[in-house]
Structure 1
Amino acid sequence: MANNFRERLVGPVTRRRSQIQEGTTDQRLLDSAGPSDWLHQDPWRVLRIQSEFVEGFGALAELGPAVSVFGSARTPADSPEYKLGVEIGRALVEAGYAVITGGGPGAMEAANKGACEGGGVSVGLGIELPFEQGLNPYVDIGVNFRYFFVRKTMFVKYAKGFVVLPGGFGTLDELFEAITLVQTRKVTRFPVILVGTEYWGPLLDWIRGTLVAGGKASDTDLELVDCTDSVEHVMELLSRANGLPAPEGPFD
C-alpha cells in the first residue's frame, strides 16, 4: 500500500487523510474564540456521564442501608396512596433504612415526607426532563441527573430492596428492570415489593396467564415479586431478606 498519506496521532486516536483536524488539542482548548459545538459531541458526553457517576457515588457512598421507593408523580396529596407512601417512608427510617426516591411529587414526595418527618435520611434522585419538576421539599440529599441509566444505577446500587407504589410508565420501567436484574443475577437478589393488590393484581394475572402460560417466563419468575397492602408486611419482607428482626407496628 502506498505510504504517501498524512497521519496525525491525537492522544490514543490515529487520524489519516480527510480525518485529520487542523491545529492541536491544546490550541482548540485554549482558543476562547473557537467553536463550541464540541460540547454536544459524544466524547464530551462520555465525560459528562463519568461525572454523573462520580457525583452519585460520592453523594451516596456513606448512606448506609437504604430502600428505593417508586410510584407515580401524579398521586394526589389527599389520596390514600399518598398517605400509604408517607407511612412506608416513616416505617423504613424507623427500621434503620434511608429512603431513596426519584425526588419528584406524588408518591415519591410521600415517601420522602415520611422519611423526613420520621427523622431519617431522605434522598431524591432527580432527572432532567422537558417538564421540569424539581426536587420535593422533603429531600435531604438531592442529586439531579441528565442520564436515566446513571440514575437507575444509583437506585439499585445503594438499595436493599425496592418498594413499588402504584405508578405509570416510569414506575413500570424501574419495576421490570429490577426484576430483570435479579432474574439474570446481575445483582444479588433483593426484595421487590408491590404495594396495592387491587392496582398490581391485574398485571400479575397477565404475567401469570400470558407470559408464563405462553412459555415466555417461568413460574419461578413470579417468586421474584411480592404484593401486599400492608406496611407491616412490607417491613417483614425487607427484614427477612436482610437478616434483621421484624419491626413492631403499627406504622401510622
Structure 2
Amino acid sequence: MSHIWPYLPARAVNITSLIEFDRLASEALAATSARGLGWRVHRVDLRERDCVLRSLDLSEAIFIDCEFSPQGRALVQATGGLCMGSGQELPFTTGERGLYSPEELYSGIQVESYDQVPDAKIYAYSQQHTSPAVRTSDDAMARTLHDHHIGQALVSEVYEGAFKDSPLIGVMGGHAMGRGTPEYERTVELGQLITRAGYAVATGGGPGAMEAANAGAWLADYDPKDVQGALKMLAAEPDAIHQRTGWARTALAVKERFPSSRQSLGVPTWFYGHEPPNLFATRIAKFFTNSIREAILLEQSNGGLIVLPGAAGTVQEIFQDACENYYATGARVVPMVLLGREYWTKTMPAWPLLKALAAQRVMEDRIALVDTAAEAMEFIDSMSTLRRRTRW
C-alpha cells in the first residue's frame, strides 16, 4: 500500500531528486514502451534533461514545481504530460457546497491553457500536498471535508434535485475511446436513447466512452443531421490527453452551437487527474478519493448499468456492482447489461463468469448480453427500478 494512500495511486512513483529521475528514466528507456507511467516529479531541476524528456512517453506523468530549459516544458507537454505549480492557497472549498459545473472547473479555458483552469490547479495541489515533504493533517482534513460535502450534494441531486424524477443509468467504459470513431458515435446514440426514455446518464465523468455518453444526453433532442455536425466538430480535436486545451474548447463550441437543457451526471476523480473531466456532464461530482467515487457512482445508478467494452477498471466495475446484486433481495437488484457479445464472451470473457455468479440468484434474470444500444434499453425498460437506499 502506498504510504500516501488514498490520495495518490498505489503504484504512483514519487520522484523528488534528480538521482531518482535519472535512475527511473534509464529503466524506462531500456524498456519497450519507454513510458513514465505513474510518475509524480516534485521540485526537480530538469534543465539539463531535454534529451531524456524528448525520448519518453510522459502522458501519465505530472511535473510539479520543476525547473525546465526553455524547450523542456514543451517536450513534456508534447506527449501529454502535465507541468504545474502547486500554489500556496487551498484551491477548493471545504464547506457545504453543490456539485461542480463544467463552467466552474474550466473557468478561463477560452483564454488560458488547461493547466491554468481550476480543475488542473486542484489536481496539482492535491499531488504536491500529498508528498511526504509537504503533506499535513490539515491538507488531509481539507480533502476529506471536500469529498464529504460533494457526496452529500450528489445524493441531494439524486433524491431532491436534477435527477429526482429520472432514475440514473450508469454507462461504464474506458477513456481510450476516441472522438471520430464508430464506437464513439454508437455511445452517443446510447446516451440519447437513455435520455429520451426518461432516464438520466451517469458516467465516470472523464473522456472517451464517458464523454460520448454524456454528449449523447446533451444532444438527445437533436436530429441525426445535427448530431453528425456535432460529432464532426468534436473529431477535429480528438485527444483529451495530449491536447487537453483544444479538446475542451471544442466541446464548449459544440455546446454553444447546440444548446440543451438535458441533465446528466459525471463522477470523475483527481486520483486520475491526468484525464480531464468532460464538459457534457451538467452536474459533476468530482472526488479526491477514488474508492468513494467508484462506490457512489455505482450506488446511485439506480436505473441500471450498461457496460461498454473496457479494460481492468471496467471489469472491476462489473463485479463490484455484481457483488451488491448478488446479496441484494427482490426489486433492489439493479439490471446490468453488457454491450458487445464478441467482446464480453471472447476478448474479455466476463460474461460467462457473471452468468455463473448469477445462477439461481435473484439477479439471474436481471443481467443481459446484447449487441446494440436499442437492445440494452429494451432490456432495462422491461425491469422495474427501485432506489437502492434511502437518503443519507
Shared fold per TM-score greater than 0.5: yes
Which of the numbers 289, 292, 306 marks the counterpart of 1:150?
292
Check if 1:37 corresponds to 2:136: yes
Q: Where in structure 1 are there 5+ consecutive unaligned residues?
A: 1-34, 244-252
Give the superposition deviation at 1:204.
4.0
CA contact (8 A) 2:217 2:263 kept: yes
Q: CA RMSD in A?
A: 2.7
1:91-130 C-alpha deviation (Å, 9 max, x unpaired):
0111011111111111111111111001432211111135
Q: Which residue number corresponds to residue 216 of structure 2?
A: 114
CA–CA distance in 1 between the matches of 2:358 and 2:311? 25
- After the TM superposition, which residues 1-252 of structure 1 pair with which residues of structure 2 at under 5 Å, given as runs? 37-40=136-139, 47-61=145-159, 62=161, 63=163, 64-119=166-221, 120-151=262-293, 152-185=295-328, 188-202=332-346, 203-204=349-350, 207=353, 212=356, 217=357, 219-220=359-360, 223=364, 224-242=366-384
The verdict on how the C-alpha distance between 1:57 and 1:83 changes in structure 2, with shifts beyond 3 A counting, is: same
- Cα deviation for residue 218 of structure 1 reads 6.1
| CA displacement 1:148-207 (0-9 Å, x = unmatched) | 232222432242100011111221121111111000118811110010111111314652
Amino acid at match of 1:38: S
Kindly indicate whether the alpha-carbon contact (under 8 Å) linking 1:60 and 1:158 is maintained by their aligned counterparts in 2: no
Residues of 1 paired with 2:266 and 2:332: CA distance? 23
Cα distance in 1 for residues equivalent to 2:267 and 2:360: 32
Of stretches 178-187 and 217-226 in structure 1, the one that deviates more from structure 2 is 217-226
Distance 1:44 1:122, change over 3 A: closer
Largest Rg, 1 or 2 = 1
Percent identity of paired positions between Structure 1 and Structure 2: 27
AA in 2 matched with 1:114: G
SS at match of 2:267: strand
**Does the Cα contact within 8 Å between 1:100 and 1:155 map onto a contact in 2?**
no
Contact 2:266 2:284 (C-alpha < 8 Å) held by counterparts:
yes
Aligned equivalents of 2:272 and 2:336: distance in 1? 30
Point out where structure 2 has 5 or more consecutive residues left out of the alignment: 1-133, 222-261, 386-392
**CA-CA distance at 1:131 after TM superposition:** 4.2
TM-score normalised per structure 1: 0.70
Q: Say whether the 8 Å CA contact 2:147–2:287 is kept in structure 1.
A: no
What secondary structure sits across from 2:176 in the alignment?
A: coil
Moved over 6 A (4+): none
Contact 1:68 1:101 in 2 (8 A): yes
Secondary structure at 1:193 match in 2: strand
Query: How many angstroms does 1:44 deviate by?
Result: 6.4
- C-alpha deviation, 1:76, in angstroms: 1.8
8 Å CA contact 2:203–2:297 kept in 1: the answer is no
Separation in structure 2 between the aligned mates of residue 91 and residue 205 of structure 1, nearest angstrom: 24
Q: Deviations over 1:6-58 (max 9, x none)?
A: xxxxxxxxxxxxxxxxxxxxxxxxxxxxx9822255x7665444323213223
* Matched-pair contact (CA < 8 Å) for 1:56–1:154: no
Whole-Å separation in 1 of the counterparts to 2:350 and 2:310: 15
Aligned pair count? 202
- Quote the Cα distance in structure 2 between the aligned partners of 1:36 and 1:231: 46
Structure 1 residues 46-90: Cα deviation after superposition (integer angstroms, max 9, x where no partner): 544432321322343321312110101001223222122111100
Bigger share in strand: 1
8 Å contact from structure 2 (residues 315, 350) kept in 1? no
Bigger CA drift: 96-105 or 122-131? Answer: 122-131
